[in-house]
Chain A
Amino acid sequence: MRLSALLLGPVLLVNLLTFLAPVLNLASLSFNEARPGGGIGPGPTLATWADLLADPYYLELVTSSVGVAAMVTVGTLLAGYPLALFIHRASARWRNLLMVACISPLLVSAVVRTYGWMVILGDNGIVAAALRWLGMAKPPRMVFNLTGVAIALVEILMPTMILCLLAGFGRLNVALEEAAASLGAPPWRVLLRVVLPLSMPGVLLGCLLAFVLTVSSFITPKLLGGGRVILLATEIYDQAIVTLNWPVAAALSVLSLAVFGAALLLYGRILRIVEA
């Protein structure tokens, strides 16, 4: 026990210095006074928090961020689940190959992938051209709005989701599916009653990560959103870099941490129910 605590030492030290200290620093910054032109006044004052909580804009920012994140999470799950199930059932040789193919997008930065989606979804992109060729006079706009951001985020988060799902498929067992079939369950009922419940740990983990990564996503909503999709992370950037209001940026950071905390709590609660 003492030895294992000792082994934990270095990582604790690094985390203390590089994570906890800055976070605490950020939190304390939110209690400082904001001065025009980027100045930071003395504290502590509750002025920033009072403004933040009184302004309906910020409440809406949080709810819309959570809403978009929930939508992207569900989209990622729906797109990733069948793929993960297919990979899980492939023969060992194919499984490794498919895993590599699935994870390879992680080697390309989100910036590049976002630009890629701008080209594909743009007004003169492949999708629009295809829709026009199919006879649609005015294809819907897919960039610089929520549609484009959601599509790109789903694609960017899929490798993460698939990895989580595969990690959570441990309890799946072909014999259980065969047993269900022999008891009269057609394939769709086997999926709903046996496969899905048994893969819930992976589903929950994937959803948690996809949700958190969407709320904190910055590049994709910034580039593909065209200033119309404002999430917590993009607002923090604007406050810190454009408006130079560091206390508000700090307070919003703490707020997003609270959102993550709530998501983690919910995850733990559901996981306990599922695994009971």
Chain B
Amino acid sequence: MASSGTRLTLEALSKRYGDGPPAVAAVSLDVAPGEFIGLLGPSGCGKTTTLRMIGGLTPSTSGRVMVGGRDVTTLPPHKRDMGIVFQSYALFPHMDVAANVAFGLEMRGLKRADIAGKVAQALDLVQLGALAHRRPRELSGGQQQRVALARALVIEPAILLLDEPLSNLDAKLREEMRAEIHDIQKRLGITTIFVTHDQAEALAMCDRIAVMEKGRVAQLGTPHDIYEHPASEFVADFVGRSNRIAAEAGADGVIRLGEHRVRSAAPVPAGPVTVMIRPHRVGFDGAEGDGWNICPGVVRRVTYVGDMLACEVEVGGGIVVVERPTQPGTALPAVGDGVRVSWRVSDTLVFPR
């Protein structure tokens, strides 16, 4: 089932319902052959609508969908050659596992003997060979998920579309399937679009992530780019956890955090700003030097969560959460302690308010 990978291009793809604001506003995306792209965003950001437009399940209002250079914008779904894994799995309840997987091959008019071979191969790929004659309702959520994946892959589609495929699984299984889907995708080299609202999932699985906000792509980049260099307050807040502190930036580039002064590596717009710092990038060590922002503060709350200690420290009128891995023998800060918190200038994200 090796797939060579096909290029997928979205050109200003838009969807508008009635007179309201567009559900998807001119999304353009160039997905390289074999690439795994995540559409990440909160519910209502247009990520599922975008996926449905790619699959032909929802007609687009304007824009184009190109698959391998061919314009498929007006093609019905059964002519698009795309494998879709639905959030609800959408397995046919009246067919057993093998028949579910065979369905797409039958529609393509393959011979019975060929179908049996490919079905067995696909079920082996997702490690479900032993359950070929079970009905979907006799399977666990994780097994149903695998059948849905096998069914979408067996037709060797040009593009694989995954619509929140892991959201109905429990946390442990989700991490297992995360790795498994990623491995299968890389092995087959199939161009894949993955819709999710879970930022950890997107960071762990995708080659590139398109963070969506209100029908637009807020930022497109590698997981590292998105996490380390978020383009907006929205992206910084949605991907990973952040401390957000209201501050004031002067024309000289110095940021006033209450009575304290801090700096950022990037140029700062003058005026009211929001300073954002990742909690695990803040420490108590009191590191010295040019590369660090250092502020005195008072511990207001300490939360012990086993592998980590979360301290809420009042700094310049705002609260900075400091997350430290727990070590044997380290003294825990106590509420009311005066501490010095420090973080790198390069870790200081600043966005205009």
Interface residues of A (CB under 8 A from B): 171, 173, 175-176, 178-187, 189, 193-194, 197-198
Contacts and interface: CB of A to CB of B under 8 A. Distances in A.
B103 interface: yes
B268 to A, nearest CB: 48
B48 to A, nearest CB: 12
A181 B103 CA distance: 10
B86 interface: yes
Contacts of A182: 55-57, 77-78, 80, 82-84, 152
Contacts of B152: 182-183
Interface stretch (B90-98, B192-200, B270-278, B338-346): B90-98
A176 B91 CA distance: 7
Contacts of A185: 78, 103, 107
Secondary structure at the A interface, as helix, strand, loop or mixed, is helix
Given A178-B84, A179-B84, A184 B93 contact: no
B83 to A, nearest CB: 7
Nearest to A275: B94
Given A183-B151, A184-B108, A187-B78, 18 more contacts: A176-B93, A178-B86, A179-B151, A181-B77, A182-B77, A182-B78, A182-B80, A182-B83, A183-B83, A183-B104, A184-B79, A184-B155, A185-B103, A185-B107, A186-B76, A186-B78, A193-B103, A197-B94
Interface of B: 55-57, 76-84, 86, 88, 90-94, 103-104, 107-108, 151-152, 155
Contacts, number: 64
Contacts of B78: 181-187
A183 B90 contact: no
A176 B77 contact: no
Nearest to B157: A182
B123 to A, nearest CB: 16
B90 A176 contact: yes
Nearest to A183: B104
Nearest to A189: B107
A214 B94 CA distance: 31
Contacts of A181: 56-57, 76-78
A187 B56 CA distance: 14
Query: Which of B80, B82, B93 has the most chain A CB within a 10 Å cutoff?
Result: B93
Contacts of A198: 93-94
Nearest to B135: A276
Nearest to A185: B107
B79 to A, nearest CB: 8
Contacts of B56: 181-182
Contact of B107 (A173, A175, A183): A183
Contacts of A197: 94
A9 B307 CA distance: 64
Given A181-B76, A182-B77, A182-B83, A176 B92 contact: yes
A178 B76 CA distance: 11
A181 B82 CA distance: 10
B108 A173 contact: no
A187 B81 CA distance: 15
B90 A179 contact: yes
Contact of B155 (A171, A176, A183, A189): A183
Contacts of B107: 183-185, 189
Nearest to B101: A183
A62 to B, nearest CB: 35
A179 B86 contact: yes
11 contacts: A173-B88, A176-B90, A179-B84, A179-B92, A180-B92, A180-B103, A181-B76, A182-B82, A183-B104, A184-B108, A193-B103
A182 B76 CA distance: 9
Query: Which of A184, A186, A187 has the most chain B CB within a 10 Å cutoff?
Result: A184
Nearest to B94: A197
Query: Which of A181, A182, A187, A193 has the most chain B CB within a 10 Å cutoff?
Result: A182
Contacts of B92: 176, 179-180, 194
Nearest to B83: A182
A181 B90 CA distance: 12
Contacts of B84: 178-179, 182
Query: Which 4 interchain pairs have the tightest Cβ spacing?
Result: A183-B104, A184-B107, A179-B90, A175-B90
